[in-house]
Amino acid sequence: MNKRGQFYLVAAIIIIGVVFGFFATRNYVRSVGEDVKIYHLSNELKEEGVRVIDYGILNDEEKMQEFMDEVAEDYLKEKAQDVFFVYGDENNIEEYRYEEEIIGKINTKGGIGTNIRKKKKTVNTLSIFSKAGKNNVEVEINGKGYPFSLNSGENFFLVLKKEAEDERYIEIR
Please check whether residue 3 lies inside any domain of the structure: no
Average pLDDT over residues 122-147: 86
Is residue 158 scored above 90 in pLDDT?
no
CB 128 within 8 A of CB 93: yes
Higher pLDDT, 164 or 149: 149
What distance in Å separates the CA atoms of residue 136 and residue 133, rounded to the nearest whole number? Answer: 10
Residues 6+ away with beta carbon under 8 Å from 119 = 72, 73, 77, 98, 99, 100, 101
Please check whether residue 6 lies inside any domain of the structure: no
Give residue 33's domain range.
Answer: 29-172
Average pLDDT over residues 56-81: 72
Please check whether residue 1 lies inside any domain of the structure: no
Closest CA to 153 of 58, 66, 72, 42: 58
Here the contacts of 146-154 (C-beta below 8 Å, separation 24 or greater) are: 146/170, 146/172, 148/86, 150/89, 150/90, 150/93, 151/90, 152/89, 152/90, 153/89, 153/90, 154/53, 154/57, 154/87, 154/88, 154/89
Average pLDDT over residues 100-104: 79
pLDDT-derived band of residue 15, with 50, 70 and 90 as boundaries?
very high
Q: How many domains does the chain have?
A: 1
pLDDT of residue 25: 64
pLDDT-derived band of residue 75, with 50, 70 and 90 as boundaries?
low
pTM above 0.75, yes or no: no
Q: Point out the least confidently predicted range of 10-24, 28-42, 99-113, 148-162.
A: 28-42
Residues 6+ away with beta carbon under 8 Å from 17 = none
| CA dihedral for 60, 64, 69, 71, sign (positive or negative) | positive
Please check whether residue 9 lies inside any domain of the structure: no
What count of other Cβ atoms lies within 10 Å of the Cβ of residue 143?
5
pLDDT of residue 132: 79
Please check whether residue 57 lies inside any domain of the structure: yes
Q: Give how far Cα 172 sits from Cα of 5, 33, 96, 121, 153, Å.
A: 67, 17, 14, 19, 20
Please check whether residue 2 lies inside any domain of the structure: no
Is residue 123 scored above 80 in pLDDT?
yes
In percent, how much of the chain has pLDDT > 70? 81
Please check whether residue 150 lies inside any domain of the structure: yes
pLDDT of residue 72: 77
Q: What is the mean pLDDT of the chain?
A: 78
